[in-house]
Structure formats: C-alpha cells, structure tokens
Amino acid sequence: MSEQNVVLTDSASNKSTALPVVSGTLGDPALDIAKLNKDTGYYTFDPGFVSTASTKSAITFIDGDKGILLYRGYPIEQLAKQSNFLEVAYLLINGELPTPDQSSAFEHEVTHHTMMQESLRHFLNGFHYDAHPMAMLCGSVSVLSAFYHDTLDINDPEQRRLAAIRLIAKVPTIAAAAYRYSIGWPIRYPRNNLEYVTRFLHMMFEVPSEPLQLSPVAAKALDLLFILHADHEQNASTSTVRLVGSTGANPYACVAAGIAALWGPAHGGANEAVLKMLNEIGSADNVSKAVEKAKDKNSGFRLMGFGHRVYKNFDPRATIIREMCHKVLADLGVNDPMLDIAMKLEEVALKDPYFVERKLYPNVDFYSGIIYKALKIPTEMFTVMFAIARTAGWVAHWLEQHNDKDSKIGRPRQIYTGATNRDYVPIDKR
Ligand code: CMC
C-alpha cells in the first residue's frame, strides 16, 4: 500500500479523515474506505458499484477508455490470434502460460473429467421438454454438488483445484445434453479423442445415424469466441460467484449462481437478445426507426449489444468478433441478412449524437450471435455458450478468492428509505 492519502472533510463538523490510496500494477487507484464507517459514521453510496473495487485481483485487467483487455497481462488480441481456449483457461487459473508438459497434463485431466454421472443425465429428464437450456444448465451445475462430495472441502487446495477442472470439463457436456434434450435427441457422450471445442460440437450435433462432417472453420471460430468470453474481471456474474463464494458455499453452487446472473439481458443474455432484436427490425430499411426508438427513454427499448459499463471507447472483443464474423460467414458460405442489418445498425448508431455523447459502442455480444447462428447454434443456446467460456473465469476467480487471506464475507450496506419505527396495529383496527 502506498503512503498517499486523500483527505475528506465533512463540511458539517469540519472534521477531516485521511483515506489511504490503494494502487495496483495497472489502472486507476482506489480509496481504501474499509474503516470509513468506524472513523466517521458514514457509509458510501454507490448503486451498481460504479466506483467501487470489491477485491484485489491479478487475473484480468481492463482499461475501458483505451479499449484494453489483458488476461494475466497478455493482450486479448495476441491470445485470440495465437492461443486456444484450454490454454487460456490454464492461464487464467494458474497465472502463467503452460509449458508443453503442463498443457498436455491439463488437457488430459480436463478430457478425463468430461463425463457426467448417469444419474445426472436422468435428472435432466425431469425438465419439461421446452425448458430453456440456461435453466437446465443452472439447475444441473448446482446439482453437481450432490454428486461430488469428495471435492466440497473448500479448505483443501487439491479439492478446490479438482472442482475447477470438473466444472471446466463438465459444463460443455451438460450444456450439449440440455440442448439435445430440448430437441428430443439422444445425448452424445464426450469423445476423448477430440479436443475441447470439437468435442463440444460433436456432443451438440452428432447423430447416431450418420457421421458428423465438422468444418474446421466452425471449431476455430468457436474456440476464438470462447477465448474472448473467458473472463472479464468483476462483471456481474463473476462478482456473483465471488459473493456466493465469500460465504464458503461450494464451487458448484457458486458457479450456478454465476450462470443465473449471466442469464439477464443486460449481461450474457444480450447475445440472444441481439438476434431477437435484429429479427424484429427485419430489414436494413427499418434500422433508423429502431435507433430512434432506442433513444426514446419511454419506449423501454435499448439497442441490445450496445454500451458497456467499463468500455467507453470501444470493446476490443467486439473489434475481433466483427472481423471474425465476416470471415466465418464467407468461409462457411453463409449469406445472412442479419449481418446487413447489424452493420447498418452499427453505422447509424455510431453517427448518432445520442450514442456518440454517451459513448455507446457495439459490445462483445453484438456480432457473436450472428456467428453462433452461422455455426447452427440455436438462439436459446447463445447465453449457454457464453457460460461455457466464462466458467474458466469464474473458477479462476473462485480459486483466487480462496487464496486471498483478506477475503471476507461480502455484505454491502444500504440507505434505508422505509417507514420509521411504528407500532403494530391489530387487524381489526386497520
Ligand atoms: N441503447 C440505448 N441507450 C443506452 C444503451 C443502449 N444499449 N445503453 C446505455 N444507454 C443509455 C442509457 O439510457 C443512459 O442514458 P442517460 O444518461 O440519458 O440516462 C446512458 O446510456 C448510460 O447507460 P447506463 O444504463 O447508465 O449504463 P450502464 O453502465 O449502467 O449499463 C449496459 C451498461 C451494458 C447494461 C447498458 O449499456 C445496456 O443495457 N446495454 C444493452 C445490453 C447489452 O448489450 N449488454 C451486454 C453487455 S457486454 C457483455 C456482458 O457484460 O455480458
């Protein structure tokens, strides 16, 4: 901690309080307000945690003004070009890129934990046939805690590590099974001779009646999407995982809570919402009308895939995805009118003073849905895809939290605005 302080003066009492400044290796410094209430009687008020750092973390760094995203110090652009998802998962969890031996051992371990218990498969049968796959994923990941009593001792580092491996390995298996259940197809078991992303595509699309012809473009594109979605520091779902983790809950319960948080349209549900929105817009001719509607606060309509709490210049993931979107569609020979609508929407919005003034740019979800669609992944699965990738980040944060000696239960305060003390009125007197 630095010696620097920021002095706050209470204009009512004229008393001053020195708040220590906490700095990391990169990014804006923060004021340490942990003792503020004890020293002054004040709390801080920060709805949505716009100005609040909830933890120290060495995993991911974002500079929202410059459009920089680093995983463990490595720029996302370099990882997107040169790495693969499983290596990125290793990096997020362990802090360093793996050596060839470490990489093979990690891949071997993940591969050999991909099966799900048969009784978990039977559990899936309990869902209604049209259940949303996010509901099935959320429920089933939480249920994993009922199967793995042997990894629930969160004080044992080896059990924590194994739980992290199991989650990275099994979430794609559960996700694919949830999808196949929803369309009435028999589930496919994970094949150990395939690598992570190809194995997932097999579990999604292979049918017993004929061999699956998988385009390498599809596997490469999905791997890249997984890299881009793998972590994003203290976003809503990761903060949820950490908040639940702070209570000492088991890792499966923590990640299930993260999946629930991701589901919302303001977060991971945006990729599904983008495609629904583009469908509703229907044609590039209707784009200006949609932009006008998004500017009208009374319409309740926002441009999905636009804006970000942290990125106020551009989302570097969106830049990579946009380029990939054109390439994937060209390579797969897909001519999707949604892409034309999306490009027109981007063009119109980026010229519009409303979006310019508020620094609203396309985010990671704006183009990802069009790529998923080209890969024949159904719309209801889009957020599930995000969850598969983000599991790597969630477990990395959960592990980091459990190695942090300063970690304590998360318990925000509130500004109470309800009734003041009053006496109970018996029902016959009300
Ligand atoms: N369309 C129209 N107006 C918007 C939009 C949008 N997509 N996003 C923000 N605004 C306006 C908002 O109405 C407000 O205007 P004003 O200052 O006049 O009141 C201003 O921009 C600031 O918005 P905010 O809601 O205070 O910003 P936030 O940081 O709380 O919200 C956000 C960030 C991502 C939730 C929001 O931009 C949004 O709802 N975007 C659409 C949903 C979306 O694409 N979410 C995916 C985020 S990236 C992936 C992920 O995190 O999972």
Q: Ligand 1 centroid to 392 CA: how many Å?
A: 26
Backbone angles phi, psi at 9, to 5 degrees: -115, 130
**Cβ partners under 8 Å of residue 178, min gap 6:** 124, 127, 131, 133, 136, 137, 140, 384
Q: Indicate which atom in ligand 1 lies nearest the CA of residue 269.
A: 52
Per DSSP, 417 falls in state -
Ligand 1 and 317: CB distance under 6 A: no
pLDDT at 90 exceeding the cut of 90: yes
Nearest to 273 by CA among 358, 386, 178: 386
User: How far is it, in rounded angstroms, from Cα 192 to Cα 215?
Assistant: 19
Q: Quick one: pLDDT at residue 166? A: 97
Are 131 and 75 a contacting pair, CB within 8 Å? no
Helix or strand holding residue 412 (H, E): none
Q: How confident is the model over 131-153, as pLDDT tens digits?
A: 999 999 999 999 999 999 878 99
Cα–Cα distance for residue pair 244/78, rounded to 1 Å: 33
| Confidence band, pLDDT 50/70/90 cuts, at residue 82 | very high
Q: Using a 6 Å cutoff on CB, does residue 172 contact ligand 1?
A: no
Which amino acid appears at position 218 of this protein?
A: A
- Kindly tell me if the per-residue pLDDT of 2 is higher than 70: no
| Residues 355-387 pLDDT 10s | 999 999 999 889 898 899 889 999 999 999 999
Cβ of 344 below 6 Å from ligand 1: no
**What's the CA gap between 42 and 48, in Å, rounded?**
19
Identify the CA nearest to 167 among candidates 109, 124, 123, 113.
Answer: 113
**Tens of pLDDT along 321-337?**
988 988 898 888 888 88
Residue 202 — very low, low, confident or very high, per pLDDT cuts 50/70/90? very high
Tell me how far apart the alpha carbons of residues 354 and 292 are, in angstroms, rounded to a whole number: 10
Tell me which residue has its CA closest to atom 29 in ligand 1: 309
**pLDDT for residue 62 is more than 70:** yes
Tally Cβ neighbours within 10 Å of residue 52.
14
Q: What integer is the mean pLDDT of 263-286?
A: 92
pLDDT over 80 (residue 211): yes
Grade residue 7 by pLDDT with cuts at 50, 70 and 90. Answer: very high
Q: Which atom of ligand 1 is nearest to the CA of 267?
A: 52
Mean pLDDT of 97-121: 96
Given a cut of 80, is residue 157 above it in pLDDT?
A: yes
174 and 115 in contact (C-beta within 8 Å)?
Answer: no
Q: How confident is the model at residue 277 (pLDDT cuts 50, 70, 90)?
A: very high
Q: Which of 132, 267, 315, 397 is catalytic?
A: 267
Q: Which residue's CA lies nearest to atom 16 of ligand 1? A: 358
Strand order across the beta sheet in which 16-22 lies:
5-9, 16-22, 30-31
Is the pLDDT at 263 greater than 90, yes or no? Answer: yes
Kindly state the average pLDDT of the residues 397-401: 98
Q: What is the pLDDT of residue 196?
A: 97
Contact in structure between 308 and 363 (CB atoms under 8 Å): yes
pLDDT surpassing 80 at residue 100? yes
CA nearest to 383, candidates 268, 291, 253, 236: 268
Q: How far apart are CA 75 and CA 4, in angstroms?
A: 30
Cα(168)–Cα(93) distance, integer angstroms: 11
Phi, psi for residue 380 in degrees, rounded to 5: -65, -15
- Return the residue matching tokens 């636009």: 306
Name the DSSP letter for residue 7: E
Whether residue 5 is predicted with pLDDT greater than 70 in this model: the reply is yes
Q: At 228, which helix (H) or strand (E)?
A: helix 216-229
* pLDDT band (50, 70, 90) for residue 314: confident
Q: For 238-242, 255-259, 338-342, which range has the lowest pLDDT when averaged over its residues?
A: 338-342
**Does the beta carbon of 302 lie inside 6 Å of ligand 1?**
yes
Closest CA to ligand 1's atom 27: 309
Mean pLDDT of the chain: 94
The enclosing H or E element of 9 equals strand 5-9
The enclosing H or E element of 317 equals helix 316-331
Q: Which atom of ligand 1 is nearest to the CA of 366?
A: 44
**Could you tell me the distance, in angstroms and rounded to a whole number, from the CA of residue 184 to the centre of ligand 1?**
37
CA–CA dist 152, 372 (Å, integer): 35
Is the predicted pLDDT of residue 312 greater than 90, yes or no? no
